[in-house]
Amino acid sequence: MGNKKKIRFIANPLSGARYRRRNLPALIADNLDPDQFDYELCFTQYAGHAVELAKEGVQNGCHLVVACGGDGSVNEISSQLIGTDTVLGVLPCGSGNGFAMHLGLGRNVARAIRHLNNGRPVTVDSCTANGRHFVNLAGVGFDAVVAKRLHDSRVRGFWAYLRYALEETWAYQMQSFDIQVDDLKFSRQCLLVEVANAPIYGYGFSIVPHAKLNDSLLEVLVVKAAPKWRYLLESWRFLNRSFHRSRLVECYTGRTVAITPARPTCIHLDGEGFPLDGEARFTIQPVSLKVLVPKAFAEILG
Architecture of the domain whose range is 5-118: 3-Layer(aba) Sandwich (3.40)
The predicted structure's pLDDT at residue 3: 84
The predicted structure's pLDDT at residue 19: 44
Kindly tell me if the per-residue pLDDT of 157 is higher than 90: no
pLDDT band at 302 (very low <50, low <70, confident <90, very high): confident
Kindly tell me if the per-residue pLDDT of 99 is higher than 70: yes
Q: What are the residue ranges of CATH 3.40.50.10330 in the chain?
A: 5-118
Kindly tell me if the per-residue pLDDT of 53 is higher than 90: yes
CATH fold of 132-286: Tumour Suppressor Smad4 (2.60.200)
3-state secondary structure the chain: CCCCEEEEEEECCCCCCHHHHHHHHHHHHHHCCCCCEEEEEEECCCCCHHHHHHHHHHHCCCCEEEEEECHHHHHHHHCCCCCCCCEEEEEECCCCCHHHHHCCCCCCHHHHHHHHHHCEEEEEEEEEECCEEECCEEEEEHHHHHHHHHHHCCCCCHHHHHHHHHHHHHHCCCEEEEEEECCEEEEEEEEEEEEECCCECHHHCECCCCCCCCCCCEEEEEEECCCHHHHHHHHHHHCCCCHHHCCCEEEEEECEEEEEECCCEEEEECCEEEEECCCEEEEEEEEEEEEEECHHHHHHHC
The residue among 67 and 159 whose pLDDT is bigger is 67
Kindly tell me if the per-residue pLDDT of 16 is higher than 60: no
Q: What are the residue ranges of CATH 2.60.200.40 in the chain?
A: 132-286
pTM here is 0.91
